[in-house]
């Protein structure tokens, strides 16, 4: 299972203090955000109250207010963290070795996995609609960076001949849409792992729904690992 539900359910207020470099307040704030993200994803943002977040962590509501000011601040942070995780993972994929195709596939893979996790799923299921215009603007800036990275990888792939000629803007949106949607429907308790879903979706986006001639399939199979079936 990709989500850390079990880890978050064990509230840091009911466990002995963690040892190590990270400071206890930051661990507790992270637990507040994660518990809230899980509730937003399961029940919806509107149907989730701070009382429910407090209850899940076995603390009082005033305790929560030590770490966050409002439900809106929690959502902003959850969506921001989801976008930050994506941006960092895609930048890492783009900075790694290999062809533009390898980098694009690695970036798509990270994107697909992140939307199955607490903050990435919250970004897709709730998003920024409930936030004030200023917060929404900040998040849009982060989104634009992610979109730019995808477009750039697609442009490079077309230039190196590993991708079909296409409009990089539209192709980037098509990929991002298909992969983002995983965050809407993916059920961590379902039969297919996030890893399996990611590989199948990426295979479909790379090769399309139309059948490929046998010769092309064989060439593709010899060039890199097959995306494989997950059942």
Contacts with a second copy by CB under 8 A lie at 44-47, 125-126, 128-131, 133, 136, 154, 157, 161-164, 166-167, 170-171, 173-182, 184-185, 192, 197, 200-201, 204-213, 215-216, 219-220, 229-231
Is 31 or 100 the residue whose CB approaches a second copy more closely? 100
Kindly tell me the burial class for residue 44, based on how many C-beta atoms sit within 10 Å of its own C-beta (0-12, 13-18, 19 or more).
exposed
User: Which residue lies nearer to a second copy by CB, 95 or 213?
Assistant: 213
At its nearest, how many Å lie between a second copy and the CB of residue 63? Answer: 27
For a second copy, the closer of residues 59 and 121 by Cβ is 121
Q: What's the closest the beta carbon of residue 15 comes to a second copy, in angstroms?
A: 32
Q: How far is the CB of 59 from a second copy (least distance, A)?
A: 26
Shortest Å, Cβ 4 to a second copy = 23
Task: State which residue, 33 or 180, has the beta carbon closest to a second copy.
Answer: 180
What is the smallest separation between the CB atom of 170 and a second copy, expressed in angstroms? 5
């Amino acid at each position: 299972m990709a989500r850390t539900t079990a880890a978050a359910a064990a509230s840091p207020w009911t466990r002995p203090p963690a040892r190590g470099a990270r400071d206890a307040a930051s661990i507790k704030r992270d637990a507040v955000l994660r518990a809230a993200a899980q509730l937003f994803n399961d029940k919806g943002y509107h149907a989730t109250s701070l009382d429910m977040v407090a209850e899940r962590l076995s603390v009082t509501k005033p305790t929560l207010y030590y770490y966050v000011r409002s439900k809106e601040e929690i959502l902003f942070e959850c969506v921001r963290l989801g976008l930050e995780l994506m941006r960092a993972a895609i930048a890492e994929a783009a900075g790694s070795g290999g062809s533009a195709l390898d980098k694009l596939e690695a970036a798509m893979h990270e994107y697909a996995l992140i939307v199955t996790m607490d903050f990435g799923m919250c970004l897709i299921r709730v998003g920024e609609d409930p936030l004030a215009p200023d917060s929404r603007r900040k998040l849009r800036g982060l989104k634009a960076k992610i979109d730019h990275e995808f477009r750039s990888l697609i442009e490079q792939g077309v230039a190196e001949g590993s991708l079909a000629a296409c409009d990089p803007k539209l192709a980037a949106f098509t990929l991002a849409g298909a992969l983002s949607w995983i965050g809407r429907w993916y059920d961590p308790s379902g039969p297919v792992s996030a890893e399996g879903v990611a590989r199948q979706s990426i295979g479909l986006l790379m090769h399309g729904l139309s059948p490929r001639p046998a010769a092309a399939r064989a060439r593709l199979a010899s060039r890199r690992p097959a995306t494989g079936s997950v059942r």
